[in-house]
Chains A and B, each alone.
Chain A
Amino acid sequence: MGEIIFLGLVVIIATSATWVVVSPNLVHSAVSLLVTLFGVAGLYVFLYADFLAATQVVIYVGGILVLIIFGVMLTNKIDKPVIESDSSNKIIGALISGFIFSILSIIIIQTKWPVLANNTEGPSTVELIGRLILGKYLLPFELISILLLAALIGAALLARKKAVIEEVLESGIENNEEIHNSEENDKNDDEDSNEALEENEDKKVEGEDVDG
């Protein structure tokens, strides 16, 4: 029984992972990624990593994947389906990834892994993990929290709307239509309306609305 589930999980993971990378539709790949992550969480359970499975679901699926979907939504025109054009690198990519996979598989199959004979299930790993985090791996833990802080601040800084002065300067210096377009898009996105091209500078100078 368990093996059937295991095999089923493997198949699910493989197919959904494949669909992630092959699907032309971006939303499809995001959803496939969701399925893959869930599958991996199931796999963790088989590997007696209960805490990690839970962590995987909560953080990966619930946080990262949501973020990714946000990204998908934010960076595409919503009135069109998100179809991307063919990439020229597909063949080479396939070749290379196939090559890597084959090499790795050869290595994996041919190596005599020092597998311990009897590894039965043990108690829940949560307590042990807790002890390790605040014991042996305290320093990495602290460091990683600082890293998270830095990532947080950085991401927030990167993604904020620019200040008015900065925008005036930028639009004054560059005559890039794309910039105009992008600013238009920004405005469109923000105000949710279609407006004709007009002097952005005036608007900007006069205008005000600061979208946080």
Chain B
Amino acid sequence: MDFNLILALSFLFIPISLFVYQLFFGHLLKHDTWYVSIVGIGFNLSVALTFFYRVFFNHPDDVFLHESFNWLTTGNFNLDLGIFIDNIAAIMLLVVSLVSFLVHLYSSEYMRGDSRFSRYYAFLGLFTFSMNGIVLADSITMIYIFWELVGLSSYLIIGFWFEKNSAASASKKAFLTNRVGDIGMFIGIMMIYFVGETHSFNLADIIEKVKTTEIDSTYLTIAGILIFMGAVGKSAQLPLHIWLPDAMAGPTPASAMIHAATMVAAGVYLTLRIFPILTFDALTYIAFTGACTALFASIIAITQNDIKKVLAYSTVSQLGYMVLAVGVGSYMAAFFHLVTHAMFKACLFLASGSVIHSMHHSLHELHDHDTDPQDMRNMGGLKNKMPITYLGMLITTLAIAGVPFFSGFVSKDAILAGTLAHYFDHGGFTIFFPIAGFGAATITAFYMFRLIFLTFHGKPKNEDIYKHLHESPKVMTVPLIVLSALSLGLFYTGSLNPLSDGSHGWFTKAVGNGHNYVIKLDSHHNESHADTHDIHHGEAHGYDNHHTPSSDYSFTEHVSHAAHAAHYTAMYLSLTVAGLGILLSFLFYQVNKLNPDSFARFFNMFKLYDLSKNKFYIDEIYSNILYKPFMFWSSIFSKIDWDYYDQTFIDSIGKITLFTSEKSTKVDYNWLDQKVVDGFGNLANYMSLKMKKLQGGVVQSYILGGLVAIILITLIVQQI
């Protein structure tokens, strides 16, 4: 067996065996059982690092490993499962393993003393297994299988403290919303399978099929959008985003892993994998979804008071960014943002977990069980008490706001450049994309700094709680340090220029621009950009470029070139909007020059404040349009089935049977038995009683009888 294959398979086997171990034997070691998990995940991390090492030397199209085996065959239907590792998969593996490792480390302290400690680690193992499965999958059905498993793990983790009503219903909501998206995904998968001549689920085969045969573009659009529906569900895009904020009822480190870094990124990862077969219309639809989500979620996040809810909505918004990037064709930007977002969002969540953990302990010492430890209005001035947490959170907030020197700036900048380029190309209504992008950037900066100011700056709102706060133990702060270090832009761009776009860094080189075999450029584009291509050739250096201005000038190349051209415009704009957001936030919350309440009332004249606070009433709308009518009809049907059909109809059959059986018993017993059968006996009895009298014992009567008989015989004979 290929050694690489064994290493690759260890990504799957180690976490699942950890799951089984922790589930059945985890209770043996009590608290020390986390050492077992961390060793396993640590091994995975080291393997991921070895794979990652090779990324530096590989071309985007090179494949490390591709092995598959036939899982089941029925007639013409084949299902293969296999492992496929290329550059993107290797980077994702590292991200997943790293975040998983840090979360395992962090949770040992955060979940200390919990009664179901080993079960928590079991679920973490299950989740890691499922996520690795998605990353390593080589066929779309394998992605689907592990997709569902990831949904299951998320259900188990969110509902970890299932005694709480909010956690139990949130986990159900998460799973069901996911399933709604998966319906579309499944139909899309089947549509892709059956089109064309060869039928295969393998990603490489599908891409090959699309490359070589002509497929009706409407069909492909629909298939692409349907598969994207799965990403909508998993990555909490606009219609199906409802589960992510509620999912904050789960333990914070798990939220960090699942809902910040990895699971929600699976949707984007899927979209990247099927990028080659998406048509232009599908991409436009995807871009719309992403833009709306980004803007929408950021508006809601402004008014939230729970620290985790703010981070949840910011996750939704950032995912919108990634999806938007895919929609405008910036393959590389989307993946870049995915990686950087994983780092800084995980750090944000872990830091907030540290804050909550500290608040919790302080409230516990005060024997106060009513105050919410997650409410930012109860915090304030924490930076003196929890310096490391503060530092970690500050660095990553700068990253998410898009401040130079930090990774978030580079990735967000790439996305925004892509949207601008898209607009420049197509014009018209696509102006919406850059507007949404830049608008969401402003608002993101605003509310993230609001979080910092409310939590860590200013005077403490509650002196008693403040007194008892303390910094978290090292086990919890070390992950913060690692992740915030990874949020510095340095790591990705490879240059110390804070304003560079990373186009010469290892990341860009490793990931490449992706391929799209469906969208064909018309000749107009071909020529006009052939020129800029040449001009740019002069400016750019070291750009690994082996395409000539000829007919194989592809869509993605075109997009990347356009983005590169729009880079500077985007950069200036994004710096402006980020600065504006931070400034506003500073004015509102740090120096209190502007009163947030009066602004809230002002906006409320247009009902905007209420809309934002109440999440645009989406949950209520769904409840009234979907849940309530459904429950209404369901109760009607249940009433028909239970009251009418079961009770009346079926029970009445039973009652009729009972009734007939009673009657038949009566007939059988009273009539048949008593009268007919006994009647024979009674008749015989009666006859014998009468006949008995014949035997009088007196001989004379016998003689008499004989004589009578003789006479009768005589008479009869005489007649004859």
Contact = CB atoms under 8 A, between A and B. Distances in A.
A–B: direct contact at CB < 8 Å: yes
Interface of A: 89, 92-93, 96, 99-100, 103
B431 to A, nearest CB: 136
B684 interface: no
B718 to A, nearest CB: 8
B39 interface: no
Contacts of B704: 89, 92-93, 96
B700 A96 contact: no
A62 to B, nearest CB: 29
Given A89-B704, A92-B704, A96-B707, 8 more contacts: A89-B701, A92-B708, A93-B704, A96-B704, A96-B708, A96-B711, A99-B711, A100-B711
B711 A89 contact: no
B665 to A, nearest CB: 51
Nearest to A87: B700
A167 B707 CA distance: 39
Ranked nearest first, the 4 interchain pairs of A and B with the lowest CB-CB distance are: A96-B707, A99-B711, A89-B704, A96-B711
A103 B704 CA distance: 17
Nearest to A92: B704
Interface of B: 700-701, 704, 707-708, 711, 714
Contacts of A93: 704
B714 A89 contact: no
Contacts of B708: 92, 96
Contacts of B714: 103
Nearest to B707: A96
9 contacts: A89-B700, A89-B704, A92-B704, A92-B708, A96-B704, A96-B708, A96-B711, A100-B707, A103-B714
Contacts of B711: 96, 99-100
Contacts of B700: 89
A100 B704 CA distance: 13
A58 to B, nearest CB: 30
A103 B710 CA distance: 12
A92 B704 CA distance: 8
B443 to A, nearest CB: 129
B550 to A, nearest CB: 143
Contacts of B701: 89
Contacts of A103: 714
A160 B115 CA distance: 118
Contacts of A99: 711
B709 to A, nearest CB: 11
A103 B708 CA distance: 14
A85 to B, nearest CB: 14
A198 B32 CA distance: 117
Nearest to A99: B711
Contacts of B707: 96, 100
B435 to A, nearest CB: 134
Contacts of A89: 700-701, 704
A100 B709 CA distance: 12
A100 B707 CA distance: 9
Nearest to A88: B701
A9 B708 CA distance: 32
A100 B712 CA distance: 11
A116 B707 CA distance: 34
A100 B708 CA distance: 10
B186 to A, nearest CB: 106
A92 B708 CA distance: 9
A99 B711 CA distance: 8
A88 to B, nearest CB: 9
B374 to A, nearest CB: 113
A103 B714 CA distance: 9
A108 to B, nearest CB: 15
Nearest to A97: B707
Nearest to B701: A89
B161 to A, nearest CB: 101
A100 B701 CA distance: 17
Nearest to B698: A89
Nearest to B708: A96
Contacts of A100: 707, 711
B708 to A, nearest CB: 7
A155 to B, nearest CB: 19
B504 to A, nearest CB: 142
B706 to A, nearest CB: 11
Contacts of A92: 704, 708
A93 B704 CA distance: 8
B699 to A, nearest CB: 12
A93 to B, nearest CB: 7
A140 B650 CA distance: 96
A39 B711 CA distance: 30
Contacts of A96: 704, 707-708, 711
A99 B714 CA distance: 11
A19 B714 CA distance: 29
B422 to A, nearest CB: 134
A93 B700 CA distance: 10
Nearest to B711: A99
A40 to B, nearest CB: 24
B701 to A, nearest CB: 7
A194 B551 CA distance: 163
A172 to B, nearest CB: 26
A94 to B, nearest CB: 12
A93 B703 CA distance: 11
A96 B705 CA distance: 10
A96 to B, nearest CB: 5
A96 B714 CA distance: 12
A131 B704 CA distance: 42
A89 B711 CA distance: 16
A64 to B, nearest CB: 21
A100 B711 CA distance: 8
Nearest to B714: A103
Nearest to B710: A100
A36 B701 CA distance: 27
Nearest to B718: A103
A86 to B, nearest CB: 14
A113 B700 CA distance: 35
A1 to B, nearest CB: 41
A103 to B, nearest CB: 7
